Structure 1
Amino acid sequence: MINIIGMVVLMLAAPLVAGVIKTVKARLQNRRGPSLLQPYFDLAKLFGKDSVFSSTVSWVFRGAPFVYFGATAGAAALLPVGDGAVSLADLFILVYLFALGRFFLALASLDAGSAFGGMGGSREMYIAVLVEPALLLALLTVVMPAGGTDLAGMAAAAGRAPLSLPHVLAALAFFFVVIAETGRIPVDNPDTHLELTMVHEGMVLEYSGRYLGLIHWAAMVKQLIMLTLFVTYFVPWGWGPAGLTGGALWFAGKVLLAAVLLGVVETSTNKMRLFRLPHFFAISCLLSLLALIAQ
């Protein structure tokens, strides 16, 4: 039951975290920027519109947003929340849910038959081949002290681990993965519609209305899941005031600080060329290997 409550909270709070990142980026660029609640208004506008489909698309194109959203919601339900995390919350199930949503969204981009969609899907699969090993290798630094891939057990082991050089290296490695999985600069630009740079936006150009709103909401939830994993496993200390309310507020504060850091990093870097991305992920893998050796 507590996992379902945590999933609902994550899904409702995900647009707020996206609004925080947009606000941070606007302030660093000397702009006023949108309201913190603007992502909620955008979703409400999209869900209030009808969707338009090409006559050539199949059930894959129509069903992909629901698979993507369902896989993301399932991943949110697996996150370790307090002592009530279920034993089925396994690391590999989480990774497979991410892969399932990515696969169907890329398949839908090909089903639409547009040049931009095919290009975006191809780039997404290229990045997926690079990011998934980096994700597993970074989390392996937490799996080894925990002695298993149970997410709740990993969270408990991370909370007992002292701050050390291996932990810092692993945190840096996983933050590289967070940047990639959330589609942020230097890997991707979530605000662009230029055909030479877009990846995720290229896959969803053919969507509109409620279906597009579902995809955007799922992307926001996935972003919050990655930030939650980062805070849970790599910034687990200092749970704050005793009690459920105090601990939850302290945890939410750390997630918001991680979101601010993500916005600062995105603003202070440039979009990387597509064929230089292997070097970016190689740095993440190297940091993870150094953390494993130093343990």
Structure 2
Amino acid sequence: MLREAAVGAYQMLLIVLFAPLLTGIIKKTKAFFQTRKGPRVFQPYYDLYKYMQKESVVSEHASWIFRVTPHIYLASMLTAAAIVPVVATKSFLDFTGDLILIIYLFALARFFLALAGLDAGSAFGGMGSSREMAVAAISEPAFMLPLFTMAVAAGTTNLTGIVESVINGGEGVLTLAHLMSFVALFIVAVAETGRIPVDNPDTHLELTMIHEGMMLEYSGKNLALLSVAVSIKQLLIFTLLVNIFFPWGIASAFGIGALIFGSLVFILKVTVIGIIMAIVETSFAKTRLFKVPDLLLGSFFIGLIGLVSKFVFRG
């Protein structure tokens, strides 16, 4: 039990430490395709250090919701990191590692961040919260469907069970339902991580903000906590993409060699997903807000077709 706990703690630590670096890699890749020099890949770490040195400024109109939101958001992401299998099939909380719990943890973090955007009393914060919840109304069902398809195939909603089922199935699991579910979840990942064409994480134009608009009033240590939590959420979504649909290379044993190999494979896979995400961002222009539901509905129907095909073709 102690050894399993140590492996679980290592996986959580890897998620926390690597999350800002993945953000830096994505920004550097975008800069490359935009023929810019761009920031260093380690710039997110310097930003976090800078935020931690500054004092948090809180509006006099803000209530306790504004103050506790960064802690709740980070706690939700850390709990999710303890559930999702990262470099080994066993996670820190694999006994309760249910994909439904992951969905609820993401929803809890979004709910409090939207409340915090409203709580500060700024116009742009309220605008960002309104847009976030409108997008979430479609993205959350689209997020559930691909995961439920994999749960149906595995016969369990436990993430460890799903990963082991795909590993044991070998290449035979690469069915139409499997691939369509991956595509559907990838499209949702674009929206959930606030990226073009749904949102622009690098914009400074408040009228176009969605996710960043809710964080506009935060500063100092509170902004550092939120920035880390957002990076962890992004990495967790990428982890679901690579470890649920393509888990080959993940460690099934707790040996040091297996964990090192699993870590290297995991870092490689999520880095590839991050680079692909950066290429997608530089290949498309930001979609008008009223067109975003069409994109997410397309993802929802792709996931629905994948789920239906699982029963029709029995594959």
Say whether the fold is shared (TM-score over 0.5): yes
CA contact (8 A) 1:3 1:79 kept: no
- 1:134 corresponding residue in structure 2: 142
Q: Are 1:80 and 2:85 matched, yes or no?
A: yes
- Retained in 1: the 8 A contact 2:249–2:262? no
Q: Residue in 2 aligned with 1:70?
A: 75
* CA shift for structure 1 position 248: 2.1
Match of 2:207 among 180, 196, 219: 196
What amino acid does structure 2 have at the position aligned with 1:88?
T
Query: How far is 1:100 from its partner?
Result: 0.7
Gaps of 5+ in 1: none
- Deviation per residue, 1:7-62 (Å, 9 max, x gap): 11101100000011001000000111111100000010001111111111111111
- Quote the RMSD (CA, aligned, Å): 1.5
Given the alignment of the two structures, is residue 157 of structure 1 paired with residue 165 of structure 2, yes or no? yes
Question: What corresponds to 2:254 in structure 1?
Answer: none
**Distance in 2, Cα, partners of 1:194 & 1:246:** 43
Q: How far did 1:4 drift?
A: 2.4
Does 1:216 find its partner at 2:227? Answer: yes
CA distance in 2, matches of 1:103, 1:48: 28
1:251 is displaced (CA, Å) by 2.0
Gaps of 5+ in 2: 252-256, 311-315
Quote how far apart the aligned CAs of 1:3 are.
2.3
Inter-partner Cα distance in structure 2 for 1:235 and 1:268: 25
For the residues of structure 1 that align with 2:39 and 2:82, how far apart are their CA atoms?
Answer: 30
Give the structure 2 partner of residue 286 of structure 1: 301
- How far did 1:141 drift? 1.5
Is the aligned partner of 1:245 residue 2:221?
no
Among 34, 41, 46, which residue is 1:36 paired with? 41
> Is the deviation greater in 18-27 or in 48-57?
48-57
What is the CA distance between 1:196 and its match in structure 2? 2.2
Q: Which residue of 120, 132, 145 corresponds with 2:128?
A: 120
* Identity %, equivalent residues: 48
Deviation at 1:112, TM superposition (A): 0.5
Give the match for residue 244 of structure 2: 233
Residue-by-residue CA offset, 1:123-169 (whole Å, 9 max, x unaligned): 11111111110010111120111111101011112223422332221
Between the aligned partners of 2:214 and 2:41, the Cα distance in structure 1 is 26
TM-score, normalization by structure 2? 0.90
Query: Are 1:148 and 2:156 an aligned pair?
Result: yes
Provide the rounded CA distance (Å) in 1 between the counterparts of 2:179 and 2:268. Answer: 20
> Any idea what SS the aligned residue of 1:20 has?
helix
Give the conservation status (yes or no) of the 8 Å contact 1:142–1:157: no
CA distance in 1, matches of 2:58, 2:262: 46
Give distance in 2, aligned partners of 1:60 and 1:166: 41
Which 10-residue stretch deviates more, 81-90 or 202-211? Answer: 81-90
Structure 1 residues 100 and 121, CA gap change in structure 2 (3 angstroms) = same
Per the alignment, residue 54 of structure 1 pairs with: 59
Deviation at 1:83, TM superposition (A): 4.1
Instruction: Answer whether contact 1:159 1:233 (CA < 8 A) is retained.
Output: no
For 2:25, the equivalent position in structure 1 comes to 20
- Secondary structure class of the residue paired with 2:208: coil
Asked if 2 retains the 8 angstrom alpha-carbon contact of 1:231 and 1:254, the reply is: yes
Amino acid at match of 2:142: A
Q: How many residues align?
A: 294
Runs of 4+ in 1 over 3 A off after TM superposition: 237-240
Q: Deviations over 1:164-202 (max 9, x none)?
A: 332221111010111111111111110112122101111
| CA–CA distance in structure 2, aligned partners of residues 155 and 239 of structure 1 | 9
Contact persistence 2:124–2:207 (CA under 8 A): no
Q: How does 1:6-17 map to 2 (within 5 A)?
A: 6-17=11-22
Q: Give the Å deviation of 1:239.
A: 5.5
| Structure-2 change in CA distance of 1:117 and 1:249 (3 Å) | same
Matches of 1:190 and 1:181 in 2, distance apart?
11
Give the residue type in structure 2 aligned to 1:231. Answer: V
